[in-house]
Amino acid sequence: GDSVTQMEGPVTLSEEAFLTINCTYTATGYPSLFWYVQYPGEGLQLLLKATKADDKGSNKGFEATYRKETTSFHLEKGSVQVSDSAVYFCALSDITSGTYKYIFGTGTRLKVLA
């Protein structure tokens, strides 16, 4: 079945450091890819998404490019802030038995220090 693998956390960075969180996927079809962010005690919020190969999703300085050849969707940000501290989930959406299911990675906790 479909699956998402993302790098283990926690990731601890100093403010203004460069961030990369790796995400790879396996899918039988042609999935759409997402990054969601979860702040403490809250639900998940969409950060960015991409629906076809070579698409780049971007939002709030975060970027990720849909790489079909390497089945990857790595999240990057050039300069992190303390307010970026959260848990980040990579996810895919693919049609299964006539319905779209969303499969999440295990999450990567990011802690940014001032």
Q: Considering the rule CB under 8 A, would residue 44 count as an interface residue with other proteins? A: yes
Q: How far is the CB of 51 from other proteins (least distance, A)?
A: 4
Q: Considering the rule CB under 8 A, would residue 102 count as an interface residue with other proteins? A: yes
Between 28 and 79, whose beta carbon lies closer to other proteins? 28
Residue 16 φ/ψ, nearest 5 degrees: 75, 5
Return the half-sphere exposure (C-beta side, CA atoms, 13 A cut-off) of residue 74: 10
Q: Considering the rule CB under 8 A, would residue 49 count as an interface residue with other proteins? A: yes
Cis peptide before 40 (omega within 30 of 0): no
Q: How far is the CB of 49 from other proteins (least distance, A)?
A: 6
Between 18 and 52, whose beta carbon lies closer to other proteins? 52
Stretch that binds other proteins, among 11-19, 20-28, 69-77, 86-94 (CB under 8 A): 86-94
